[in-house]
Chains A and B, each alone.
Chain A
């Protein structure tokens, strides 16, 4: 097997999208896949604290669904990963989950912008201003001025 084929099969397997290269122990690969998913979940959990709390014991299963569906990209792929999960769950029918996801998304948008296209620099520092409402745990008007170190206010409304 060529190196390119080996890497393609291995990457797919570690992302849970294939059985892995021939000659490799399936159980070892599955253990590595679970470990990578756990690392990915921890990184995203740090970025989405409200959503993690709102999902409670369902967090792990919801993250597994997201991980099976989405391949993050870019230098800051953990931010891209968190952004996609929050944007998806901001549309969830459960209003508590949707509000938590939306609020975490606002916090991500305060620091970064995300390009539509995948690529190394998909996530960049935010320069432009931002006005948004958050709801958990209290209603806040979030206002950020332009600039990469733009001053931010959080006003209770």
Chain B
């Protein structure tokens, strides 16, 4: 029996937080946890990949908070969703990963939201009411059903990427996926 990596069960679409062209030949989906140190380590690598493959890559981030290990992960995910409603998802996504050490200090993140000119009270209220728990859980379960068993887990053009979350192997796998889909067309 040949080994085939699990496939993404929830296709990338309008519901997703996405950067890069919608019709890009390379689609990278990350299931991540804002408190996971390995996601933190992968964050600058993804940034570098986005720069390297600019114009040809669509990057999508989905929540996979490991709540029994990371006490602030759910809060961070719901905060990012609340900020996303006000149109600044990627700013808060980046800020959370760049300030993982400050997770737990909610005031620190509120100051940043204020700096972005966002309605901070609305965000605090929505997170307090757990308005985005359902959305985060939907991301989480879509990951579970796609074979995500930890973070970060990546999918390239719909197939789980089983290599290391490092720059060169990821770029090589993305280019290979592009070549494969190109041949099929």
Instruction: Please determine whether chains A and B interact with each other in the same assembly.
Output: no
